[in-house]
Chains A and B, each alone.
Chain A
Amino acid sequence: MALLEITGLEKVFGGIKALQGVDFSIDEGEIVSVIGPNGAGKTSFFNVISGMFPPDGGSIVFDGDNLAGHEPNEITARGIARTFQNVRLFPNMTVLENVMVAQHCRTKSGLIGSVLRTPRQRAEERMIEEKAKNVLAFFGTRLAGYRYDQPAFVLSYANRRRLEIARAMATEARLLLLDEPTAGMNPRETIELTELIGKLRSERGFTVVLIEHDMKVVRDVSDRVVVLDHGVKLAEGSYAEISSNEQVIEAYLGRPAESETGE
């Protein structure tokens, strides 16, 4: 059974039909890219799946449960986490705290436990910190050591993107939705992150859906590619297949061209 099965997803904003009956499915352990020209509805797609907006139609079945209409924090607890197109960290919290907060849906200490510092609460805090460090270690030394206690806003742009991914990882989700993770990075950082996305699957067992504009990343990392345009799924297949698909090329460029699209 597919991990995430979406059928006929619809979303309307005022007069704009952002999503018009999108079908999508992904199996556990896959890495799928969602591409499409600007305005195609890709971020709306993520917004609806992650619960920020309820869908106007269709179903979102994750691991057998229909998640449509649930609150975002419930969906995260169920196992879907995301990053944002324009990095949205908690800028004044430290790097470590940003990641520790992600554990909120997996932990339980409340008012009483925190105030009384019960053994269970203390053990839980230790565990939260360890897990956070473990997740940050995924990025090597970039977000480790003295970085733990730096407020997030001092980080460089690339590090902020990494931290956002770390935060999503730390929710112990099964499915990660990465919204343009390499946007704004220089070529070296992009290559590094492309490798890391692969490792998200191979080392940490995540299933990944990513929105991307950089076709090299799409080519290097995806098992499959889904193309959206004007709220509809235009095509689906391997990178080779869709990069030679005439409809896709037309959607991007508007006229027949060489097979290598984008730079």
Chain B
Amino acid sequence: MTAAVEVKPTKTRRFRFNWVDSFLWFIRVAAIITIIVGFIGSIQLFLAGEGPTLQQWRDLVISSISQGAMYGLIALGYSMVYGILGFINFAHGEVFMSGTMVGYVAANLLFQAGMWEQNIVLSLFIVLIVAMSTSMLVAMLVEKAAYRPLRGAPRLIPLITSIGVSFFLQYTFAGLFGVGVRTYPALPESISGRVVILGVPIETTKLLVIIVAILSTIILWYFVTKTRTGRAVRAVAEDKEIAGLMGINVDRTIVTTFAIGGAMAGVAAIMWALLFRSVDFTTGFLPGIKAFTAAVLGGIGNLPGAVLGGVLLGLFEGTGPLLILAGLGIPAVSQLKDAVAFIALVLVLIFRPSGLLGERLGSEDRV
């Protein structure tokens, strides 16, 4: 028998010509050239006076960061579930969506009762609680009904199941709430508008989003590192079987993990409400995929990575089209925003699947 622990071997290069590797190099080179050429082109446009102004760039960056923060919070759910159970929970986007839809109901009620205008802070807080509770509930229900019976099945089975759950949830909400788009009530004068921080004017909504994101991450970090339950979560993520033998209730910990992911998605739901205001039953799909990209980008299973990945993805998706594609002379680049996000997804998964900060997988999934 060889060493007791099978450690992943160091990456040594195969010293032979390989179609696959050369194709991959070709992609790398093409991507880098595209980025450089596009970037130069954008600078030229900028200097020529066309393209966005400096202020517009600044606003764009702030928007992108706030959107990225939202992706980051959703990404936490993906990261945690992957770290603990080893599969991609497609339905997490819908967990997010459920928070936005039910949050809308609450917001609307508060608006009609006049409380929205009178006490926006309290109203937002209530909506936050409602959204978080809904998302948590949906996440936990899904775990109990669809994923728990599949514990131990080959990894692709829960993945496919989660696709089914995603659909089911989408169209359940469509059936319950109808297919129409719902718009959150506008924020009252008292808190909309801009605030100047460090000489930079930022819209209050975006500022709020960033602050909420930071707070949530800190709370989550504290929870995961300092509390007993958090330790249990990390232990179960590391090695389910051994954690169980150490006396940790694995089932309950997994439920907790889903609940936390759901809670974070609920917070993200409020952020969506603040940033975009309109929601319908399809709201979860794209952010879900992008959040997964963010999770992988940061390193799947790695919580700080998820948030970092989210912000980076937001920046890339927000500024990429204008920064790179416009410079290449492509018209109507805003249409391609999602394509940029998907390209980021593809590139990350091909070239750096372990992510920027490294993956944290359970023992079953480590090679």
Chains A and B touch (C-beta atoms under 8 A apart): yes
A residues with a Cβ closer than 8 A to B are 11-16, 18, 38-44, 53-56, 68-71, 85
B153 to chain A, nearest CB (A): 16
B residues with a Cβ closer than 8 A to A are 1-4, 6-10, 12-16
**CB within 8 Å: A-B pair count:** 50
B15–A69 touching, CB < 8 Å: yes
B3–A18 touching, CB < 8 Å: yes
A43–B2 touching, CB < 8 Å: yes
Q: Which residues of A contact B8 (CB under 8 A)?
A: 13-14
Besides A14-B7, A44-B2, 11 other A-B contacts (C-beta < 8 A): A13-B8, A13-B9, A14-B10, A18-B2, A38-B2, A39-B1, A39-B2, A41-B2, A69-B13, A69-B16, A85-B1
A13–B7 touching, CB < 8 Å: yes
Docked Cα-Cα span, A55 to B13, in Å, equals 10
A38–B1 touching, CB < 8 Å: yes
Q: Which of A43, A54, A70 sits near B12, CB closer than 8 Å?
A: A54
B25 to chain A, nearest CB (A): 17
Docked Cα-Cα span, A43 to B6, in Å, equals 11
B3–A13 touching, CB < 8 Å: yes
B12–A42 touching, CB < 8 Å: no
- A sample of 9 cross-chain residue pairs with beta-carbon separation below 8 angstroms, ordered by A number, consists of A13-B6, A13-B9, A13-B10, A14-B7, A14-B8, A14-B10, A54-B13, A54-B14, A71-B14
Main secondary structure of the interface of A (DSSP, over half): loop
Q: Which residues of A contact B7 (CB under 8 A)?
A: 13-16
Q: Which residues of B contact A53 (CB under 8 A)?
A: 9
Q: Which residues of A contact B3 (CB under 8 A)?
A: 13, 16, 18, 39, 44
A215 to chain B, nearest CB (A): 16
Which of B2, B3, B4 has the most A CB atoms < 10 Å from its CB? Answer: B2
Q: Which residues of A contact B6 (CB under 8 A)?
A: 13
Known: A13-B7, A14-B8, A53-B9. A69 touches B1 (CB 8 A): no
B10–A56 touching, CB < 8 Å: yes
Docked Cα-Cα span, A54 to B8, in Å, equals 12
Docked Cα-Cα span, A14 to B3, in Å, equals 12
Q: Which residues of B contact A38 (CB under 8 A)?
A: 1-2
What 5 A-B pairs are tightest by C-beta distance, nearest first?
A14-B7, A38-B1, A69-B15, A43-B2, A13-B7
Q: Which residues of B contact A70 (CB under 8 A)?
A: 14, 16
Docked Cα-Cα span, A68 to B2, in Å, equals 21
